[in-house]
Structure 1
Amino acid sequence: MKPSLVLSTVLSLLLPHAAHAGDCAERIATITPGKLTVAAYDYPPFTFASPDGTITGIDPQIVTRFATDHCLDVVTQVMDPAATIQSVISGKADVAIGSWNRTEKRRQVLDQSAPLYIDHMGIYSKAGDTTIAATLGKRAGTVTGFFWVSDLQKLFGSNLKLYPTPVALAQDLAADRLDVGFLGYNAGSYNQKAQGAYPGIAIRIAEPDDRIQATVLPPQTTVLYTKGNTSLGTALDLSIAHQHADGSMAKAVQDVGFDPALLDVGAPRFVK
């Protein structure tokens, strides 16, 4: 797949200043010299993480390629999702991965790489709803922490139930205690195909609706890294641009069954 115009522009601007793969003359500041410490959690297919520190998946491929090109050894720390962010903030890890969205709130305490891929909002229902309009008046649910929660609350009011986890929401959908759920499309569609999750539930990308920002400008995912580490951020952005341009990132998403159109990220943006 050809890189987007935005990514091509980034690549053309940065390329004259880039170190070639395998050229370690460019020093990148990391917690431990010569190593890239990566905080990760198990979130297939973006990150498959085992307790022994082995990580595979889309995001690990991206950071491993970056580390290899800059002669850095990858050191992994597998932990709970919230702990990965705190690990970077506290200076115990250089980067955090796991399909993290680029957000204004995280921007206050972390820096965020150039966009990786799009994280669409999904509509989960037995009826196969694809539009927000089709879901209005129904018993709806979503999980706390998604940035579209406030928009949904304005539309659904008391008809919207908040859940602590996707598992709890899925249980109510299956038992007909809920008519429609709003969760991330990528993870749900993968788990349905690979693990048989959400039986009997149709998972669709929500069509654009001005009332829900996430459907108009879907969040972009990122690699989170230590705030102020310019050498790491610049090199990471360049590597991401290369991986978009040379097709390696497209292969990574296709390998897990995703449409490479997820890589059409557009101009970098932060969601509120």
Structure 2
Amino acid sequence: MFRTACRNSTRKGLAAASFAILIGAGNVLAQEDCQPASKFSTIEPGVLKIAAPDMPPFFTFKDGVMGGFEGLFFTKFAKDNCLTPEVTVLPLGGIVESVRNGLVDVGGAGLNPTPERGEVVGLTHPIYYNVGVFVGKDPDAELEKYAGKTLGTVTGFVWNKELETWGKANLKVYDTADAAFADVKSGRLPTMLLGGINAYYRLSLVPDSGLSAVEAAPHPAVATFNSKGRTNVVHTKGNPELTAALNTAIATMRKDGTLADILKQMNLPADLLIPAADAGE
């Protein structure tokens, strides 16, 4: 049995960015005789409400089936806890607000566990590293090289506010990584800043594009350039049982090799997976 719904609206600039809601059970069905791995409450009993952007290799949703790193994680987490997943696909910038407002239980994908986010949503232990990289034709690692130039980024990234404060580049914020990357490929945008996993995955799909990526060098104005970015699962705040359940699932999947297998399926380097000792487990 699948739950499906769809809502489409017209995009009119960043402020009126549309999103489509797609709700589906995937291929996981809650069974009456299922024994959950953890005990916790969700917004709707028996259902795990998920919000994530359609942004491979992090998350995809097609024909009621989740894919990508977080998609495969959520699929197993729901199955192990006897829950039917309902998926809301929307732009990255709307994920935290959707979780904050109690519309969904969990959110992804590729989100960093920042103190600011921790004030409004629950945060799990980090799962994998994701550093900021510049993407373009012969991009430079030094931020100062982009002073006076147009630099693209995507709404929702933690470095956006820091770049605005730095203020030396003409920052162009896109609603989706697809749109930004398309402009870089076409030459309409000289350089964009993107998470490493996303960048290297996209570059692998267009090997003859002439584009490359370089990891952002440390810079005093952008704290996120000074240490390896980490990703986590954001979820409803004030639900410690859900936090514990997600952390247990992450630790278990790290230990039994599931997370490493997912990275392999995504054609991503195994060393992106954060070791347990560095994850605070």
State the TM-score, normalizing by the size of structure 1.
Answer: 0.75
Point out the more displaced range, 250-259 or 177-186: 177-186
Among 58, 63, 71, the alignment partner of 1:46 is 58
1:227 Cα shift?
0.9
Root-mean-square deviation (Å): 2.9
Q: Any unmatched runs of 5+ in structure 1?
A: 1-21
For 1:143-162, what per-residue CA distance to the aligned partner results, in whole angstroms no more than 9, with x for missing partners? Answer: 254322344456561x4332
1:184 equivalent in alignment to 2:212? no
User: Percent identity among equivalent residues?
Assistant: 27
SS of the residue 2:138 aligns to? coil
User: Aligned pair in 2 of structure 1 residues 98, 168: CA closer, same or farther (>3 Å)?
Assistant: closer
1:144-223 matches, cutoff 5 A: 144-153=155-164, 157=168, 159-165=169-175, 166=177, 169-170=180-181, 173-174=184-185, 179-194=190-205, 196=206, 199-223=209-233
1:54 Cα shift?
2.3
**C-alpha distance in 1, partners of 2:148/2:183?**
14
* Contact 1:102–1:219 (8 Å) recurs in 2: no
**C-alpha distance in 1, partners of 2:187/2:61?**
33
User: Aligned pair in 2 of structure 1 residues 162, 197: CA closer, same or farther (>3 Å)?
Assistant: farther
**C-alpha distance in 2, partners of 1:76/1:137?**
43
Point out the more displaced range, 228-237 or 258-267: 258-267
**C-alpha distance in 1, partners of 2:189/2:133?**
15
* Contact 1:43–1:49 (8 Å) recurs in 2: no
Higher RCO by CA contacts (8 Å cutoff, separation 6 or greater): 1
SS of the residue 1:46 aligns to? coil
1:176 Cα shift?
5.2
Structure with the larger helix share: 1
* Contact 2:112–2:158 (8 Å) recurs in 1: no
* Contact 1:136–1:156 (8 Å) recurs in 2: no
Among 95, 101, 117, the alignment partner of 1:106 is 117
1:141 Cα shift?
0.1
Among 37, 55, 60, the alignment partner of 2:71 is 60
* Contact 1:254–1:260 (8 Å) recurs in 2: yes
1:75 equivalent in alignment to 2:85? yes
1:29 equivalent in alignment to 2:41? yes
Q: Which amino acid aligns with 1:120?
A: V
SS of the residue 1:28 aligns to? coil
* Contact 2:48–2:85 (8 Å) recurs in 1: yes
Among 135, 138, 147, the alignment partner of 1:124 is 135
Q: Any unmatched runs of 5+ in structure 2?
A: 1-33
What's the counterpart of residue 5 of structure 1? none
For 1:119-173, what per-residue CA distance to the aligned partner results, in whole angstroms no more than 9, with x for missing partners? Answer: 210111312434446x35572403254322344456561x433232445544554
**C-alpha distance in 2, partners of 1:26/1:63?**
14
